[in-house]
Amino acid sequence: MKILIVGAGAVGAVFGASLHEHGADVHFLLRPARKELVDAEGITLELPIGQVNVQPRTLSSAQLQDTFDLIILTNKAYSLESVIADITPAVGPQTHILPLLNGMRHLDRLDSAYGQARVLGGVAKTIATQSAPTTIQVNNAYSSITVGARLAEQQSKAEAVWQELVNAGIHAELSDAIMVDMWDKFCRMATVGAANCLLNGTVGEYMRSDAGGQIALQLFKECTDTAQAAGYPMAPADIAGFQRVLTNPASTFSSSMYRDMQAGLPVEGDHLVGDMLRRGQEAGLQCPMLTVANAVLQTYSAKRQ
């Protein structure tokens, strides 16, 4: 299978490195400046078990001449429009796209650009940060990808992609309910991102405030209510488990969106919190905490501009 990975940030590097190291036919699509750095230095993964350096094959959009069987999107959601422009020459009659972006809104855009039959469902789980231009700090020993067919006609392709990931030593799951899985992650990411950014602290830090835990739980309720209204309710056991995560006073966890905000970088606020709020409001739900969190994120983005 001929694979193109878009981006070499945390998600792209973690999983792309495994594909590369196990001999998969994989290239990374990078911006010219990023390509120059990666070509010169490779990509270094600082793992809990030690350091790994890989020298992947890279391409810029100007170098795309062939089509690919699979294009894995690992870019930030706010870069989707430019990515679509970049990858379109690489999309052939048999190409499928596996987006590992946060949120759900990208599915509508990719379906519009390439047709729903080409776009698989996917969820990436890792705790990793790009700590330097070519260095990825991976903080968890277990990273995984879940892939699944959104349409019955995609099942054989989803199975082939899953097998390719497994062959590369990646912890991969083949889901028969990928939209449920994607909504589950959407709820979690929107909640913890909103809580961290609204309260300006990690989970453990906002739990030292009088109302931090209550605010986080209210944000989560608004997200899970929205998921239920959309037809993808979270299981009660999963809700209870994540409520404990959100209110753990000893936790040092923070979302990638909060870490981006702390670094003064663009954030995926509109694609996570803003989109969740819009979906909740369209379902006739009251979402007061999401409204406040979204205003905080919009203000941050406006100040950056």
Digit-coded pLDDT (tens) for 245-270: 999 999 999 999 999 999 999 999 99
**125, 225, 251, 268, 276 from 246: Cα distances, Å:** 17, 17, 9, 20, 18
Residue 198 has pLDDT above 90, yes or no: yes
On whether the CB atoms of residues 119 and 154 are closer than 8 A, the answer is no
Residue 108's pLDDT band, with cuts at 50, 70 and 90, is very high
Q: Where in the chain is the domain with CATH 3.40.50.720?
A: 2-176
Alpha carbon distance 8, 31 (integer Å): 10
pLDDT digits (tens, 9 = 90+) for 123-149: 999 888 888 889 999 888 789 999 999
Average pLDDT over residues 46-55: 89
What is the model's pLDDT at position 293? 98
List 130's β-bridge partners, or say none.
136
pLDDT at 50 over 90: no
Task: Give the mean pLDDT of 29-36.
Answer: 94
Q: Which amino acid is at 271?
A: H
The predicted structure's pLDDT at residue 141: 75
Say whether pLDDT at 234 is over 90. Answer: yes
Q: What is the pLDDT of residue 127?
A: 86
Rounded Cα gap, residues 72 and 11, in angstroms: 10
Tell me what percent of the residues of the chain surpass a pLDDT of 90: 92
- Count the Cβ atoms, other than its own, within 10 Å of residue 127: 16
Contacts of 297 (CB under 8 A, 6+ apart): 194, 197, 267, 269, 270, 273, 274
pLDDT band at residue 63, thresholds of 50, 70 and 90? very high
Looking at residues 167-189, what average pLDDT do you find?
Answer: 97
pLDDT averaged over every residue in the chain: 96
Q: Is pLDDT above 80 for 40? A: yes
User: Which strands make up the sheet holding 58-59, listed edge to edge?
Assistant: 58-59, 25-29, 2-6, 68-73, 91-99
Using CB atoms within 10 Å of the CB of residue 68, give its burial: 0 to 12 exposed, 13 to 18 middle, 19+ buried. buried
Q: Where in the chain is the domain with CATH 1.10.1040.10?
A: 180-304
**What kind of architecture, by CATH, is found in domain 180-304?**
Orthogonal Bundle (1.10)
For every residue of 17-66, DSSP letters joined together read HHHHHTT-EEEEE--HHHHHHHHHH-EEEEETTEEEEE---EE-GGG--S
Options 3.40.50.720, 1.10.540.10, 3.40.190.10, 3.40.50.9100; which CATH number does 2-176 get?
Answer: 3.40.50.720
Which residue shows structure tokens 């602290």?
A: 201
pLDDT at 208 over 80: yes
pLDDT (mean) for 142-158? 96
